[in-house]
Amino acid sequence: MTLRQIEVVAAVIVRDGLVLGARRSARQSLSGLWEFPGGKVEPDEVHSNALAREIREELACEVKVGELVLTDAHEYEFGEVQLSTYWCTLKHGEPYALEHAEVRWLHPRRLQQLEWAPADLSAVEAIVNKMP
């Protein structure tokens, strides 16, 4: 059986050398795991618009979407998530966890101490290697 393909975009928001991580809540799948905020791309939606929309919905703030960090795929039992992560900066507002259990500014050196959603591991490694 072919797995359902789920196209997801996520924001690596950087401010003052720190990266914003978000912990999934008990109401969400993969609950308790850390991720980069974002969500599913709607049909005919371009990644940058999908990501700005998701961040508005989840964190009540506005981001500027920059370059792609990377795209990776991971097979969960509910489908294959194709996760594209983008470097982002804040334009307006302060991130507030409307849907997540918690959001936290993290030093890149500390990222790998947390338990990330499996699809995020290659992005986390790339970020650790690219940030001072």
Binding residues for ligand 8DG, per CB under 6 A?
6, 8, 10, 28-30, 35-36, 38-40, 81, 83, 117, 119-120
Instruction: Select 64 or 118, whichever has its Cβ closest to ligand 8DG.
Output: 118
Query: In a 3-state reduction of DSSP, which class is residue 29?
Result: coil
Find the radius of gyration of the CA atoms of the chain: 14
**Rounded to the nearest whole angstrom, what is the least distance from the CB of residue 93 to ligand 8DG in the complex?**
18
Question: How many CB atoms sit inside 10 A of residue 9's CB?
Answer: 29
Residue 62 beta carbon to ligand 8DG: minimum distance, rounded to whole angstroms: 17
Q: How many CB atoms lie within 10 A of CB 83?
A: 24
Q: Which of 69, 73, 65, 59 is nearest to 20 (CA)?
A: 59
Separation between Cα atoms, residue 87 and residue 127, nearest integer Å: 9
Closer of 29 and 89 to ligand 8DG (Cβ): 29
Nearer to ligand 8DG, 19 or 119 (CB): 119
Q: What is the length of the chain?
A: 132
Taking the least distance from each CB to ligand 8DG, the nearer of 29 and 112 is 29
Shortest separation between residue 1's beta carbon and ligand 8DG, angstroms: 18
Smallest separation, CB 16 to ligand 8DG (Å): 21
